[in-house]
Amino acid sequence: MKEEEKIIARFGRKGPWSVPEGYFDSLSQEIAAKLPEMPEAEKPAKLTPWQRVKPYAYLAAMFAGIWCMMQMFHHISGVGTLSLDNPPEHIAALMADEDAEVSYSLPSAFSDAELIEEISSQYSDIDQFKEDFGVEIESKYND
């Protein structure tokens, strides 16, 4: 016989404590009667237009500060400017300049196949590609 079964056999399952009849029926009413009166909750004050706009103004100021900081870092670094009008020409000019420090970093999210597809989709003719990048393609790749 397990020890637990021996204890149950000797003392039984009923505990020595008991609750008077109807105790829980009126318990909540008695506790509520003993509590002090709660004052009514104050209505929140109406927000002014500035209080409503303030978080967005702070957010805009933060982004403007980050933009200014990035512009200052770019200006201090001395790296030439790139134009989005025709980047290959500017990149080629920067690469030709021996004093320019150009770092190359490709997003790791793109595979080689995706990059090739992206570049090839921008050019309808190989001559345009040659002109933009200033490269000569070997005759064995003409096909």
Question: What is the chain written as a DSSP string?
Answer: --HHHHHHHHH-SS-S----TTHHHHHHHHHHHHSPPPPPPPPPPPPPHHHHHHHHHHHHHHHHHHHHHHHHHHHHHTPPP--SSSHHHHHHHHHH-TT--------TTS-HHHHHHHHHHH-SSHHHHHHHHT----GGG--
- Which residue has tokens 């345009």? 128
Nearest to 103 by CA among 134, 77, 71: 77
CA distance 124 to 133: 15
In this prediction the pTM is 0.30
pLDDT tens-digit profile of 15-46? 777 888 888 888 898 899 999 988 888 888 99
pLDDT at 1: 66
CA distance 56 to 130: 48
Q: What is the DSSP letter of 98?
A: T
Structure tokens at 121: 């989709």
| Residues in the chain, pLDDT under 50 | 83
pLDDT at 9: 85
